[in-house]
Amino acid sequence: MRKFDAIIIGTGQAGPPLATSLAGKGQKVAIIEKSDLGGTCVNTGCTPTKAYVASARRAFVARNSEEHGIYIEGDVQIDLKKIKARKDKLVSESHQGLEKMLQGEKNISLIRGKATFLDDHSIEVNGENFFAEKIFINVGGRPRVPEEFKTVDYLTNRTMLELEEIPEELVIVGGGYVSLEFAQMFSRFGSKVTILERGDQLMKKEDDDIAEAVTEIIKNSGIKVLLNSNCIKAEKESGRIAVIYNCEEGSKKIMTSHLLLAVGRVPNTDDLGLEKTGVELDESGFIKVNDGLQTSVSHIWALGDCNREGAFTHTAYNDFQIVNSQLFEERKRKLSDRHLCYAAYIDPPLARVGLNEKQIRKKGIKAKVAEMPMSQIARAKEKGETFGKLKIFIDAETDKILGATFLGTGADEFIHTVLDQLYAGASYQVIRDAVHIHPTVSELIPTMLENLKDPVENRT
């Protein structure tokens, strides 16, 4: 039995910084990884998809700049092998950096293999047993694959990023982040894309007006969107894939060369041996944690996607910050201090922080709203990118900011104007009275806050 002060399972977004911190304090750490170093974000998530989104945008701009007086004679050529090679280089640089960081620290042992719990303190990897006083689970998740698709050669976010030829046709099941990002990029690469979503809107958590605007963006990208599609399944047919749907209204069928499943993710907790520990899971297999990310066994913590408290890289990294502060810092950070925030990297991007209109109504909060269409913003007009809108919600009783949804060019960056004030607990008047730089989209945020509209609940 090899003994350590701490064992970390997984090298995603929380494990490596935690390993470095523990090791820096003189603790002996084993960090275990069964697959590629860096986890989902680095290998099959954020880094590769945002690299592809950037290539897809270049193609779009090259094809659509005549209005700006710029045009290309002939057709724009897309080389997916080169796009992939650029992505592979970015991923490989990340691996190398991470490997160097972990191998370069004498108190860290990097163990390659699959970890399974033997009991509350011990873990087995490749037939060898490891013991530690403290254990940190950072095992992430994987794409959900419903039974109805298991007999065909479906793609996931991982295999999509291994393709070297652009699919002629691409049917995507699901209408969330993974779907929309891949749909727009592959449509821009030249695939004929169809999205089948079982719900009545894309991006199901967003306000209706925002979801409608997102759908318009997606449709304007030449993508077919089929909402309210029920009982979707796939079968092999004549060397192609038949996607069958709408059994209730009389079944329909789409034939396709490629099928991407983007129907959510499941946590990697089912084969971790957790039944041999006192660690409790919820009904979907996510690990239950308290405000300091301890599981039901106090010396075992769960960080990142496997605890259902966030499903993003920034939330996984914040989980590291919370645990680190709970262990070592005077100022104890907590899960409940975190405000929800994210961006979907469609073009233009959708960015969110805090509450939206749907959530405000549900909570029964008295709120005011400031709204502005991107078409009224000088910088957006100058860029020729006027699609989208900005919404900020203010608590009518305290004047504090409740949240914002921004859809428009650069929204993933300028949402932070609101985000930081939300953390500061400031009144909206702080932003209203600030002087912002001209010409930016941000300069209209103070202006829109001069015109707060009716309480949200009174609007139709």
Ligand X SMILES: Cc1cc2nc3c(=O)[nH]c(=O)nc-3n(C[C@H](O)[C@H](O)[C@H](O)COP(=O)(O)OP(=O)(O)OC[C@H]3O[C@@H](n4cnc5c(N)ncnc54)[C@H](O)[C@@H]3O)c2cc1C
Ligand Y SMILES: NC(=O)c1ccc[n+]([C@@H]2O[C@H](COP(=O)([O-])OP(=O)(O)OC[C@H]3O[C@@H](n4cnc5c(N)ncnc54)[C@H](O)[C@@H]3O)[C@@H](O)[C@H]2O)c1
Q: Which residues line the annotated binding site?
A: 50, 174-181, 197, 264, 305
Give the rounded distance of the alpha carbon of 109 from its chain centre. Answer: 30
Structure tokens at 186: 């592959």
Which residues define the annotated binding site for NAD(+)?
174-181, 197, 264, 305
Task: Give the CA angle between residues 411, 415, 417 to the nearest 5°.
Answer: 135
Helix axes 177-189, 208-220, angle to 10 degrees: 20
Minimum distance from CB of 315 to ligand Y (Å)? Answer: 9
Among residues 232 and 343, whose Cβ is nearest to ligand X?
343
Question: Per-residue DSSP letters for 188-233?
Answer: HHT-EEEEE-SSSSSSTTS-HHHHHHHHHHHHHTT-EEE-S--S-E
Indicate whether 186 belongs to the interface with ligand Y (CB under 6 A). no
Cβ–Cβ < 8 Å for 174, 202: no
Among residues 167 and 175, whose Cβ is nearest to ligand Y?
175
Q: Which of residues 120-159 bind ligand X (CB under 6 A)?
A: 138-140, 157
Among 27-35, 166-174, 198-206, 403-411, the segment contacting ligand X (CB under 6 A): 27-35
- Is 438 considered catalytic here? yes
> By C-alpha distance, which of 343, 313, 340 is closest to 408?
343
Among residues 34 and 361, whose Cβ is nearest to ligand X?
34
Among residues 200 and 433, whose Cβ is nearest to ligand Y?
200
Of these partners, ligand Y, ligand X, none, which one is at the site of residue 95 (CB under 5 to 8 Å by kind)?
Answer: none
> By C-alpha distance, which of 15, 105, 7 is closest to 323?
15
| One residue of 2, 34, 192, 224 binding ligand X per CB under 6 A | 34
Indicate whether 16 belongs to the interface with ligand X (CB under 6 A). no
Minimum distance from CB of 370 to ligand X (Å)? Answer: 26
Q: Which of residues 393-432 bind ligand Y (CB under 6 A)?
A: none
Indicate whether 53 belongs to the interface with ligand Y (CB under 6 A). no
Indicate whether 348 belongs to the interface with ligand Y (CB under 6 A). no
Minimum distance from CB of 117 to ligand X (Å)? Answer: 9
| One residue of 19, 30, 178, 419 binding ligand X per CB under 6 A | 178
Structure tokens at 185: 């990029």
Among residues 130 and 177, whose Cβ is nearest to ligand Y?
177
Minimum distance from CB of 67 to ligand Y (Å)? Answer: 29
Indicate whether 46 belongs to the interface with ligand X (CB under 6 A). yes
Of these partners, ligand Y, ligand X, none, which one is at the site of residue 287 (CB under 5 to 8 Å by kind)?
Answer: none
Minimum distance from CB of 314 to ligand Y (Å)? Answer: 9
Indicate whether 199 belongs to the interface with ligand Y (CB under 6 A). yes
CA atoms within 13 A on the CB side of 213: 22
Which residues define the annotated binding site for FAD?
50
Cβ–Cβ < 8 Å for 191, 171: no
Indicate whether 309 belongs to the interface with ligand X (CB under 6 A). no
Q: Which of residues 132-151 bind ligand Y (CB under 6 A)?
A: 146
Indicate whether 225 belongs to the interface with ligand Y (CB under 6 A). no
CA distance 243 to 179: 16
Indicate whether 301 belongs to the interface with ligand Y (CB under 6 A). no
Cβ–Cβ < 8 Å for 137, 303: yes
CA distance 448 to 84: 42
CA distance 31 to 34: 10
Question: Per-residue DSSP letters for 40-80?
Answer: HHHHTSHHHHHHHHHHHHHHHHHHS-GGGT---SSPPP--H
Cβ–Cβ < 8 Å for 342, 352: yes
CA distance 171 to 310: 28
Burial class for 156, CB neighbours closer than 10 Å (0-12, 13-18, 19+): middle
Instruction: Write the CA distances from 265 to 156, 188, 286, 312, integer angstroms.
Output: 11, 26, 11, 12
Indicate whether 10 belongs to the interface with ligand X (CB under 6 A). yes
Of these partners, ligand X, ligand Y, none, which one is at the site of residue 264 (CB under 5 to 8 Å by kind)?
Answer: ligand Y
- What value does the CA radius of gyration of the chain take, rounded to a whole number of Å? 24
End-to-end CA distance of the chain: 65
Indicate whether 51 belongs to the interface with ligand X (CB under 6 A). no
Indicate whether 176 belongs to the interface with ligand Y (CB under 6 A). yes
Written as one letter, the residue type at 362 is: K
| One residue of 49, 184, 318, 324 binding ligand X per CB under 6 A | 49
Instruction: Write the CA distances from 230 to 245, 246, 250, 316, integer angstroms.
Output: 6, 5, 11, 33
Indicate whether 173 belongs to the interface with ligand Y (CB under 6 A). yes
Q: Which residues are annotated as catalytic?
A: 438
Interaction site with ligand X (CB under 6 A): 9-14, 32-35, 39-41, 45-46, 49-50, 114-115, 138-140, 157, 178, 268, 272, 304-305, 311-314, 316, 345
Interaction site with ligand Y (CB under 6 A): 146, 173-179, 181, 196-199, 204, 232, 262-265, 311-312, 342-345
